[in-house]
Structure 1
Amino acid sequence: MVMEPQLFVADGRLWRNDGVTARSFDPWALAWQDQTALPADVAPVAAEDAVAMLAAGGGMRRLPVAVIGPREPVGDQEAIARALGAAIAGLGLVLLTGAKGGVMAAASRGAAESGGLVLGLVPDEDWRMANPYVTVPLATGIGPVRNALIARACPVLVAVGGGYGTLSEIAYGLHFDKLVLTLADAPVVDGAIICADVTDARARIARRMLALDAAL
Protein backbone atom coordinates (compact mmCIF):
# COMPACT_ATOMS: atom_id res chain seq x y z
CA MET A 1 0.00 0.00 0.00
CA VAL A 2 1.04 3.60 -0.65
CA MET A 3 1.90 5.69 2.40
CA GLU A 4 -0.01 8.95 2.17
CA PRO A 5 1.52 12.27 3.23
CA GLN A 6 -0.32 14.28 5.84
CA LEU A 7 -3.04 16.28 4.15
CA PHE A 8 -5.54 18.70 5.61
CA VAL A 9 -8.80 20.29 4.55
CA ALA A 10 -10.10 23.71 5.58
CA ASP A 11 -12.98 25.69 4.06
CA GLY A 12 -13.21 23.27 1.13
CA ARG A 13 -9.52 23.68 0.24
CA LEU A 14 -6.77 21.07 0.44
CA TRP A 15 -3.56 21.80 2.34
CA ARG A 16 -0.30 20.08 3.18
CA ASN A 17 2.63 20.92 5.40
CA ASP A 18 6.11 19.84 4.32
CA GLY A 19 7.67 20.73 7.64
CA VAL A 20 8.87 24.17 6.57
CA THR A 21 6.47 25.26 3.83
CA ALA A 22 2.68 25.21 3.96
CA ARG A 23 1.02 24.60 0.61
CA SER A 24 -2.50 24.72 -0.78
CA PHE A 25 -3.70 22.71 -3.76
CA ASP A 26 -5.08 24.46 -6.84
CA PRO A 27 -7.61 21.92 -8.17
CA TRP A 28 -7.86 23.61 -11.58
CA ALA A 29 -4.11 23.83 -12.19
CA LEU A 30 -3.61 20.51 -10.36
CA ALA A 31 -0.57 21.98 -8.63
CA TRP A 32 0.58 22.99 -5.16
CA GLN A 33 1.14 26.63 -4.24
CA ASP A 34 3.34 27.89 -1.39
CA GLN A 35 1.53 29.67 1.43
CA THR A 36 2.72 31.46 4.56
CA ALA A 37 1.03 29.05 6.98
CA LEU A 38 -1.73 26.50 7.41
CA PRO A 39 -5.13 27.87 8.42
CA ALA A 40 -5.88 27.68 12.12
CA ASP A 41 -8.79 25.23 11.77
CA VAL A 42 -7.79 22.25 9.63
CA ALA A 43 -8.83 18.60 9.67
CA PRO A 44 -6.77 15.65 8.40
CA VAL A 45 -7.94 13.97 5.22
CA ALA A 46 -6.80 10.96 3.17
CA ALA A 47 -5.68 11.49 -0.42
CA GLU A 48 -8.58 9.50 -1.85
CA ASP A 49 -11.15 11.42 0.19
CA ALA A 50 -9.47 14.68 -0.85
CA VAL A 51 -9.76 13.83 -4.55
CA ALA A 52 -13.43 12.89 -4.16
CA MET A 53 -14.10 16.10 -2.23
CA LEU A 54 -12.45 18.32 -4.83
CA ALA A 55 -14.15 16.53 -7.72
CA ALA A 56 -17.55 16.83 -6.04
CA GLY A 57 -16.96 20.55 -5.56
CA GLY A 58 -16.92 21.04 -9.32
CA GLY A 59 -13.72 23.08 -9.39
CA MET A 60 -11.28 20.29 -10.19
CA ARG A 61 -9.84 19.86 -13.67
CA ARG A 62 -11.09 16.47 -14.81
CA LEU A 63 -8.12 14.75 -16.41
CA PRO A 64 -9.12 11.19 -17.31
CA VAL A 65 -7.74 7.94 -15.97
CA ALA A 66 -7.36 5.16 -18.54
CA VAL A 67 -8.10 1.49 -18.07
CA ILE A 68 -6.57 -0.74 -20.73
CA GLY A 69 -6.71 -4.47 -21.30
CA PRO A 70 -7.76 -7.31 -23.60
CA ARG A 71 -11.02 -7.78 -25.43
CA GLU A 72 -11.04 -11.38 -24.20
CA PRO A 73 -10.24 -11.28 -20.47
CA VAL A 74 -9.43 -14.47 -18.59
CA GLY A 75 -9.97 -15.54 -15.01
CA ASP A 76 -11.03 -12.69 -12.76
CA GLN A 77 -9.77 -9.90 -15.03
CA GLU A 78 -13.29 -8.82 -16.01
CA ALA A 79 -14.40 -8.59 -12.36
CA ILE A 80 -11.25 -6.67 -11.43
CA ALA A 81 -11.76 -4.22 -14.30
CA ARG A 82 -15.37 -3.63 -13.25
CA ALA A 83 -14.28 -2.95 -9.65
CA LEU A 84 -11.55 -0.64 -10.92
CA GLY A 85 -14.02 1.35 -13.02
CA ALA A 86 -16.24 1.74 -9.96
CA ALA A 87 -13.25 2.86 -7.88
CA ILE A 88 -12.31 5.53 -10.43
CA ALA A 89 -15.89 6.80 -10.51
CA GLY A 90 -15.92 6.79 -6.72
CA LEU A 91 -13.02 9.24 -6.79
CA GLY A 92 -15.11 11.52 -9.01
CA LEU A 93 -12.71 11.02 -11.92
CA VAL A 94 -13.39 10.46 -15.62
CA LEU A 95 -12.67 7.01 -17.05
CA LEU A 96 -11.13 6.75 -20.52
CA THR A 97 -11.05 3.47 -22.45
CA GLY A 98 -10.71 2.22 -25.98
CA ALA A 99 -14.51 1.81 -25.97
CA LYS A 100 -14.65 -1.82 -27.05
CA GLY A 101 -15.39 -5.08 -25.21
CA GLY A 102 -13.72 -7.20 -22.58
CA VAL A 103 -11.76 -5.30 -19.95
CA MET A 104 -12.76 -1.99 -21.56
CA ALA A 105 -16.47 -2.78 -21.32
CA ALA A 106 -16.14 -4.14 -17.78
CA ALA A 107 -14.37 -1.02 -16.53
CA SER A 108 -16.88 1.16 -18.34
CA ARG A 109 -19.76 -0.75 -16.75
CA GLY A 110 -18.28 -0.40 -13.28
CA ALA A 111 -17.83 3.33 -13.70
CA ALA A 112 -21.24 3.90 -15.30
CA GLU A 113 -23.07 1.90 -12.63
CA SER A 114 -21.34 4.04 -10.00
CA GLY A 115 -22.49 7.27 -11.62
CA GLY A 116 -19.18 8.04 -13.33
CA LEU A 117 -18.44 9.65 -16.69
CA VAL A 118 -16.99 7.25 -19.27
CA LEU A 119 -15.10 8.63 -22.26
CA GLY A 120 -14.42 6.20 -25.09
CA LEU A 121 -11.98 6.60 -27.98
CA VAL A 122 -13.68 4.42 -30.57
CA PRO A 123 -11.21 3.08 -33.14
CA ASP A 124 -14.01 2.85 -35.73
CA GLU A 125 -15.66 5.60 -37.75
CA ASP A 126 -19.07 4.95 -36.17
CA TRP A 127 -19.65 5.92 -32.53
CA ARG A 128 -22.22 3.12 -32.31
CA MET A 129 -19.37 0.63 -32.23
CA ALA A 130 -18.65 1.66 -28.62
CA ASN A 131 -19.74 -0.61 -25.81
CA PRO A 132 -23.11 0.38 -24.24
CA TYR A 133 -21.55 1.80 -21.05
CA VAL A 134 -19.58 4.60 -22.73
CA THR A 135 -21.09 7.97 -21.86
CA VAL A 136 -19.16 10.03 -24.44
CA PRO A 137 -18.14 7.96 -27.49
CA LEU A 138 -15.60 9.67 -29.75
CA ALA A 139 -15.44 7.98 -33.15
CA THR A 140 -11.86 8.38 -34.40
CA GLY A 141 -11.61 6.01 -37.36
CA ILE A 142 -7.90 5.59 -36.63
CA GLY A 143 -7.85 1.96 -35.52
CA PRO A 144 -5.07 0.85 -33.15
CA VAL A 145 -3.36 4.24 -33.44
CA ARG A 146 -5.84 5.32 -30.76
CA ASN A 147 -3.62 3.44 -28.26
CA ALA A 148 -1.10 6.28 -28.44
CA LEU A 149 -3.84 8.87 -27.96
CA ILE A 150 -5.10 7.14 -24.83
CA ALA A 151 -1.60 7.06 -23.36
CA ARG A 152 -0.98 10.70 -24.23
CA ALA A 153 -4.30 11.93 -22.81
CA CYS A 154 -4.11 10.42 -19.32
CA PRO A 155 -1.81 11.07 -16.38
CA VAL A 156 -2.51 7.50 -15.20
CA LEU A 157 -3.04 4.27 -17.13
CA VAL A 158 -4.08 1.05 -15.41
CA ALA A 159 -3.62 -2.22 -17.27
CA VAL A 160 -5.78 -5.20 -16.32
CA GLY A 161 -4.32 -8.27 -17.98
CA GLY A 162 -3.55 -7.97 -21.66
CA GLY A 163 -1.35 -9.02 -24.56
CA TYR A 164 0.49 -7.19 -27.32
CA GLY A 165 -2.09 -4.41 -27.70
CA THR A 166 -2.02 -3.65 -23.99
CA LEU A 167 1.76 -3.90 -24.03
CA SER A 168 1.92 -1.18 -26.68
CA GLU A 169 -0.25 1.11 -24.54
CA ILE A 170 1.94 0.46 -21.50
CA ALA A 171 5.02 1.30 -23.57
CA TYR A 172 3.43 4.50 -24.86
CA GLY A 173 2.46 5.49 -21.32
CA LEU A 174 5.97 4.99 -20.01
CA HIS A 175 7.43 6.80 -23.02
CA PHE A 176 5.17 9.78 -22.26
CA ASP A 177 6.22 9.72 -18.57
CA LYS A 178 2.76 8.72 -17.34
CA LEU A 179 2.06 6.67 -14.23
CA VAL A 180 1.42 3.12 -15.44
CA LEU A 181 -0.15 0.64 -13.00
CA THR A 182 -0.80 -3.04 -13.65
CA LEU A 183 -3.21 -5.62 -12.25
CA ALA A 184 -4.25 -9.20 -12.91
CA ASP A 185 -1.21 -10.53 -14.78
CA ALA A 186 -0.79 -7.55 -17.08
CA PRO A 187 2.49 -7.52 -19.05
CA VAL A 188 5.49 -6.87 -16.80
CA VAL A 189 7.50 -3.89 -18.03
CA ASP A 190 10.25 -1.99 -16.24
CA GLY A 191 8.79 1.27 -14.97
CA ALA A 192 5.22 0.00 -14.65
CA ILE A 193 4.06 -0.55 -11.06
CA ILE A 194 2.46 -3.87 -10.18
CA CYS A 195 -0.44 -3.17 -7.79
CA ALA A 196 -1.53 -5.59 -5.10
CA ASP A 197 -5.23 -5.00 -5.80
CA VAL A 198 -7.79 -2.38 -6.84
CA THR A 199 -7.50 -0.65 -3.46
CA ASP A 200 -3.77 -0.19 -4.01
CA ALA A 201 -4.36 1.14 -7.52
CA ARG A 202 -7.01 3.56 -6.25
CA ALA A 203 -4.60 5.01 -3.67
CA ARG A 204 -1.88 5.47 -6.29
CA ILE A 205 -4.32 7.14 -8.69
CA ALA A 206 -5.37 9.59 -5.98
CA ARG A 207 -1.75 10.47 -5.18
CA ARG A 208 -0.96 11.19 -8.82
CA MET A 209 -4.10 13.30 -9.32
CA LEU A 210 -2.98 15.39 -6.33
CA ALA A 211 0.55 15.71 -7.76
CA LEU A 212 2.01 14.14 -4.62
CA ASP A 213 4.57 11.98 -6.38
CA ALA A 214 5.04 13.87 -9.69
CA ALA A 215 3.81 16.95 -11.50
CA LEU A 216 0.87 16.50 -13.85
Structure 2
Amino acid sequence: MMWHPATQVLTKDDQAFDPATLSWAVQSVGPEAGEPVTPGEALRRLAETHRLRRVPIGIIGPREATAEQCRIAEAMGLELARHGLQMLCGGKSGVMEAACRGHARGGGLPIGLLPDEEWHAANPHVAIPIATGIGPARNAIIARACLVLVAIGGGVGTLSEMALGLQFSRLVLALADAPHIDGVARLASVDEVLERIAGRILSAV
Protein backbone atom coordinates (compact mmCIF):
# COMPACT_ATOMS: atom_id res chain seq x y z
CA MET A 1 0.00 0.00 0.00
CA MET A 2 1.10 3.55 -0.76
CA TRP A 3 0.22 6.80 0.99
CA HIS A 4 0.12 9.96 -1.10
CA PRO A 5 0.71 12.95 1.23
CA ALA A 6 -0.24 15.64 -1.29
CA THR A 7 -3.74 14.26 -1.85
CA GLN A 8 -4.08 12.24 1.40
CA VAL A 9 -5.06 9.16 -0.60
CA LEU A 10 -4.18 5.54 0.13
CA THR A 11 -3.63 3.32 -2.88
CA LYS A 12 -3.06 -0.34 -3.63
CA ASP A 13 -2.11 -1.29 -7.17
CA ASP A 14 -4.58 0.69 -9.33
CA GLN A 15 -7.13 1.21 -6.56
CA ALA A 16 -7.74 3.96 -4.00
CA PHE A 17 -9.25 3.46 -0.55
CA ASP A 18 -12.51 5.25 0.26
CA PRO A 19 -12.43 6.01 4.02
CA ALA A 20 -16.18 6.66 4.13
CA THR A 21 -17.22 3.26 2.77
CA LEU A 22 -14.09 1.34 3.90
CA SER A 23 -13.73 -0.05 0.40
CA TRP A 24 -11.35 0.02 -2.57
CA ALA A 25 -12.23 1.26 -6.05
CA VAL A 26 -10.33 1.77 -9.29
CA GLN A 27 -9.25 5.38 -9.40
CA SER A 28 -6.68 7.50 -11.16
CA VAL A 29 -4.49 8.91 -8.42
CA GLY A 30 -2.25 11.20 -10.44
CA PRO A 31 1.51 11.45 -10.86
CA GLU A 32 2.47 12.49 -7.33
CA ALA A 33 4.81 10.16 -5.52
CA GLY A 34 3.62 7.89 -2.75
CA GLU A 35 5.39 6.24 0.16
CA PRO A 36 4.91 2.62 1.26
CA VAL A 37 3.00 2.11 4.52
CA THR A 38 1.97 -0.81 6.70
CA PRO A 39 -1.74 -1.26 7.51
CA GLY A 40 -1.21 0.33 10.92
CA GLU A 41 0.61 3.33 9.45
CA ALA A 42 -2.08 3.69 6.78
CA LEU A 43 -4.77 3.74 9.45
CA ARG A 44 -2.99 6.50 11.37
CA ARG A 45 -2.64 8.60 8.22
CA LEU A 46 -6.32 8.12 7.36
CA ALA A 47 -7.34 9.04 10.92
CA GLU A 48 -5.51 12.35 10.58
CA THR A 49 -7.73 13.26 7.61
CA HIS A 50 -10.86 12.95 9.82
CA ARG A 51 -12.62 11.18 6.95
CA LEU A 52 -12.39 7.61 8.27
CA ARG A 53 -15.79 6.01 8.96
CA ARG A 54 -15.80 5.14 12.67
CA VAL A 55 -17.24 1.64 12.66
CA PRO A 56 -16.87 0.51 16.30
CA ILE A 57 -14.13 -1.75 17.62
CA GLY A 58 -15.31 -3.73 20.64
CA ILE A 59 -13.28 -4.27 23.81
CA ILE A 60 -14.69 -7.09 25.91
CA GLY A 61 -13.55 -8.56 29.21
CA PRO A 62 -14.44 -9.16 32.85
CA ARG A 63 -15.76 -6.72 35.42
CA GLU A 64 -13.53 -8.36 38.03
CA ALA A 65 -10.28 -7.84 36.15
CA THR A 66 -6.68 -8.29 37.22
CA ALA A 67 -4.23 -5.41 37.30
CA GLU A 68 -2.51 -6.78 34.20
CA GLN A 69 -5.77 -7.11 32.28
CA CYS A 70 -6.62 -3.51 33.16
CA ARG A 71 -3.16 -2.33 32.08
CA ILE A 72 -3.55 -4.00 28.70
CA ALA A 73 -7.12 -2.74 28.29
CA GLU A 74 -6.12 0.86 29.03
CA ALA A 75 -3.25 0.64 26.53
CA MET A 76 -5.61 -0.86 23.95
CA GLY A 77 -8.17 1.90 24.43
CA LEU A 78 -5.49 4.57 24.16
CA GLU A 79 -4.11 3.18 20.90
CA LEU A 80 -7.59 2.86 19.39
CA ALA A 81 -8.10 6.56 20.05
CA ARG A 82 -4.68 7.45 18.63
CA HIS A 83 -5.55 5.55 15.46
CA GLY A 84 -8.86 7.40 15.06
CA LEU A 85 -10.97 4.34 15.92
CA GLN A 86 -14.27 4.36 17.76
CA MET A 87 -14.42 2.09 20.80
CA LEU A 88 -17.53 0.29 22.05
CA CYS A 89 -17.74 -1.76 25.23
CA GLY A 90 -20.21 -2.85 27.88
CA GLY A 91 -19.65 0.35 29.85
CA LYS A 92 -19.15 -1.25 33.26
CA SER A 93 -16.10 -1.81 35.49
CA GLY A 94 -12.87 -3.82 35.14
CA VAL A 95 -11.54 -4.25 31.61
CA MET A 96 -14.33 -2.05 30.25
CA GLU A 97 -13.54 0.86 32.55
CA ALA A 98 -9.80 0.61 31.91
CA ALA A 99 -10.35 0.59 28.13
CA CYS A 100 -12.65 3.61 28.40
CA ARG A 101 -10.10 5.44 30.53
CA GLY A 102 -7.39 4.87 27.92
CA HIS A 103 -9.65 5.79 25.02
CA ALA A 104 -10.77 9.02 26.69
CA ARG A 105 -7.16 9.89 27.58
CA GLY A 106 -6.28 9.59 23.89
CA GLY A 107 -9.03 12.01 22.89
CA GLY A 108 -11.63 9.36 22.04
CA LEU A 109 -15.32 9.24 22.96
CA PRO A 110 -15.86 5.71 24.30
CA ILE A 111 -19.35 4.28 23.94
CA GLY A 112 -20.77 2.11 26.71
CA LEU A 113 -23.65 -0.22 25.78
CA LEU A 114 -25.06 -0.88 29.23
CA PRO A 115 -27.15 -3.81 30.41
CA ASP A 116 -28.83 -1.44 32.87
CA GLU A 117 -31.97 0.64 32.51
CA GLU A 118 -30.33 4.01 33.23
CA TRP A 119 -27.20 5.66 31.85
CA HIS A 120 -25.93 6.52 35.36
CA ALA A 121 -24.72 2.91 35.72
CA ALA A 122 -21.86 3.58 33.28
CA ASN A 123 -18.28 3.85 34.49
CA PRO A 124 -17.06 7.47 34.79
CA HIS A 125 -14.97 7.34 31.59
CA VAL A 126 -17.84 6.47 29.22
CA ALA A 127 -18.51 9.50 27.01
CA ILE A 128 -21.62 8.08 25.32
CA PRO A 129 -23.65 5.82 27.65
CA ILE A 130 -26.48 3.85 26.04
CA ALA A 131 -28.77 2.18 28.57
CA THR A 132 -30.43 -0.85 26.97
CA GLY A 133 -32.25 -2.36 29.95
CA ILE A 134 -31.89 -5.80 28.40
CA GLY A 135 -29.24 -7.29 30.69
CA PRO A 136 -26.76 -9.79 29.23
CA ALA A 137 -28.68 -9.83 25.93
CA ARG A 138 -26.82 -6.62 25.12
CA ASN A 139 -23.79 -8.85 24.45
CA ALA A 140 -25.35 -9.80 21.12
CA ILE A 141 -25.67 -6.14 20.14
CA ILE A 142 -22.02 -5.48 20.95
CA ALA A 143 -20.95 -8.49 18.88
CA ARG A 144 -23.14 -7.48 15.95
CA ALA A 145 -22.29 -3.76 16.01
CA CYS A 146 -18.49 -4.07 16.06
CA LEU A 147 -16.22 -4.71 13.12
CA VAL A 148 -13.65 -6.38 15.38
CA LEU A 149 -13.90 -7.71 18.95
CA VAL A 150 -10.86 -7.72 21.22
CA ALA A 151 -11.15 -9.96 24.28
CA ILE A 152 -8.89 -9.18 27.24
CA GLY A 153 -9.32 -11.85 29.89
CA GLY A 154 -12.87 -12.85 30.69
CA GLY A 155 -15.28 -15.51 31.82
CA VAL A 156 -18.68 -16.71 30.69
CA GLY A 157 -19.91 -13.28 29.58
CA THR A 158 -16.82 -12.63 27.49
CA LEU A 159 -17.02 -16.15 26.10
CA SER A 160 -20.58 -15.49 24.90
CA GLU A 161 -19.52 -12.27 23.15
CA MET A 162 -16.61 -14.01 21.46
CA ALA A 163 -18.85 -16.85 20.24
CA LEU A 164 -21.48 -14.40 18.99
CA GLY A 165 -18.77 -12.44 17.19
CA LEU A 166 -17.69 -15.58 15.34
CA GLN A 167 -21.31 -16.39 14.53
CA PHE A 168 -21.70 -12.91 13.03
CA SER A 169 -18.48 -13.35 10.98
CA ARG A 170 -16.58 -10.73 12.96
CA LEU A 171 -12.84 -10.80 13.50
CA VAL A 172 -12.33 -11.86 17.12
CA LEU A 173 -8.91 -11.40 18.72
CA ALA A 174 -7.69 -12.50 22.15
CA LEU A 175 -5.15 -10.91 24.48
CA ALA A 176 -3.84 -11.90 27.90
CA ASP A 177 -5.76 -14.88 29.28
CA ALA A 178 -8.98 -14.53 27.28
CA PRO A 179 -10.98 -17.75 26.82
CA HIS A 180 -9.73 -20.19 24.18
CA ILE A 181 -12.11 -20.65 21.24
CA ASP A 182 -11.37 -22.21 17.87
CA GLY A 183 -11.28 -19.48 15.23
CA VAL A 184 -10.07 -16.76 17.61
CA ALA A 185 -6.54 -15.49 16.99
CA ARG A 186 -4.44 -15.22 20.15
CA LEU A 187 -2.00 -12.32 19.96
CA ALA A 188 0.85 -11.24 22.21
CA SER A 189 0.69 -7.45 22.14
CA VAL A 190 -1.45 -4.37 21.56
CA ASP A 191 0.65 -3.56 18.49
CA GLU A 192 -0.19 -6.93 16.92
CA VAL A 193 -3.88 -6.36 17.60
CA LEU A 194 -3.74 -2.93 15.95
CA GLU A 195 -2.14 -4.35 12.82
CA ARG A 196 -4.88 -6.98 12.59
CA ILE A 197 -7.59 -4.36 13.09
CA ALA A 198 -6.00 -2.15 10.44
CA GLY A 199 -5.77 -5.11 8.09
CA ARG A 200 -9.46 -5.87 8.54
CA ILE A 201 -10.49 -2.27 7.97
CA LEU A 202 -8.29 -2.03 4.88
CA SER A 203 -9.10 -5.58 3.74
CA ALA A 204 -5.36 -6.15 3.46
CA VAL A 205 -5.05 -9.33 5.56
TM-score normalized by structure 1?
A: 0.90
Residue number in structure 2 paired with 1:147? 139
Equivalent of 1:83 in 60, 75, 89? 75
Residue number in structure 1 paired with 2:3? 8
C-alpha distance in structure 1 between counterparts of 2:71 and 2:28, whole Å: 47
CA displacement at 1:34 relative to structure 2: 2.0
Residue number in structure 2 paired with 1:119? 111
Identity of aligned residues (%): 50
CA deviation vs aligned residue, 1:60-105 (integer Å, no higher than 9, x gap): 2110100000001125111011111111111111110000000000
Alignment of structure 1 residues 16-35 onto 2, 5 Å? 16-17=12-13, 22-35=14-27
Please tell me whether the aligned partners of residues 157 and 179 of structure 1 are also in contact (alpha carbons under 8 angstroms).
Answer: yes
Please tell me whether the aligned partners of residues 2 and 34 of structure 2 are also in contact (alpha carbons under 8 angstroms).
Answer: no
CA deviation vs aligned residue, 1:111-144 (integer Å, no higher than 9, x gap): 1111112011011111010001111001111110
**Residue 101 of structure 2 is aligned to residue 106 of structure 1:** no
C-alpha distance in structure 1 between counterparts of 2:194 and 2:141, whole Å: 23
Specify the code of the residue in structure 2 equivalent to 1:13: V
More displaced stretch, 8-17 vs 138-147: 8-17
Alignment of structure 1 residues 60-209 onto 2, 5 Å? 60-209=52-201
C-alpha distance in structure 2 between counterparts of 1:176 and 1:39, whole Å: 41
CA deviation vs aligned residue, 1:34-79 (integer Å, no higher than 9, x gap): 2367744212222222212222212221101000000011251110
Specify the code of the residue in structure 2 equivalent to 1:141: G
Specify the code of the residue in structure 2 equivalent to 1:24: A
Specify the code of the residue in structure 2 equivalent to 1:93: L
Q: CA RMSD in A?
A: 1.4
Please tell me whether the aligned partners of residues 68 and 159 of structure 1 are also in contact (alpha carbons under 8 angstroms).
Answer: yes
Specify the code of the residue in structure 1 equivalent to 2:8: G
Structure 2 spans left out of the alignment, 5+ residues: none
Q: Structure 1: which 4+ aligned runs deviate by more than 6 Å? A: none
Specify the code of the residue in structure 2 equivalent to 1:160: I
Specify the code of the residue in structure 2 equivalent to 1:78: C
TM-score normalized by structure 2?
A: 0.95
Structure 1 spans left out of the alignment, 5+ residues: 1-5
